Amino acid sequence: MHSRFMRMTSRLLIAAVLSLSVPLQSTYAVMVATDQAAPSIQSQSERERISTFLDREDVRKEMQAQGIDANATRARVAALTDEEVHKIAGNMDKLPAGGDGGVLEVLLTIFVVLLITDILGFTKVFPFTRSIR
């Protein structure tokens, strides 16, 4: 009785493992239009714009005054999703040229994004946050 159960169980396991390795759909390649591939190219250029902005001397001084580590911020920018990068770059486009309030708004936006990712447990930059994980 015991060996019959073991044989039946092993046969079911073998069938389950073999069924997982069989592809359900065939894979095919298609041509991708430039406009379909453009969002990834656009997000990369926006990411570079944000990094260039963070490298400015006045921005670094303001971040230091706020207690934000520049290296941690660069790592966070690299870890942002394309949607987050697009949102930050969109906020940068709305800022007035040479305005003092613009730098603070962008820094505040970056700080909030970093704070949210800290609370969600994706990163650990700020020592005063507790992860929900």
Q: Could you list the pLDDT tens digit for every one of the 133 residues in the chain? A: 567 877 777 777 777 666 665 555 555 566 766 656 555 667 778 888 888 888 888 888 888 888 888 888 888 888 888 888 888 888 777 766 655 556 777 788 888 888 888 888 888 888 888 877 6
Tokens encoding 80: 């942002």
Neighbours of 47 (CB within 10 A): 19
CB atoms inside a 10 Å sphere around CB 110 = 23
Q: Is this structure's pTM higher than 0.85? A: no
d(CA 102, CA 79): 23
Encoded tokens for 19 = 């069924």
Close Cβ partners of 115 (under 8 Å, ≥ 6 residues apart): 126, 129
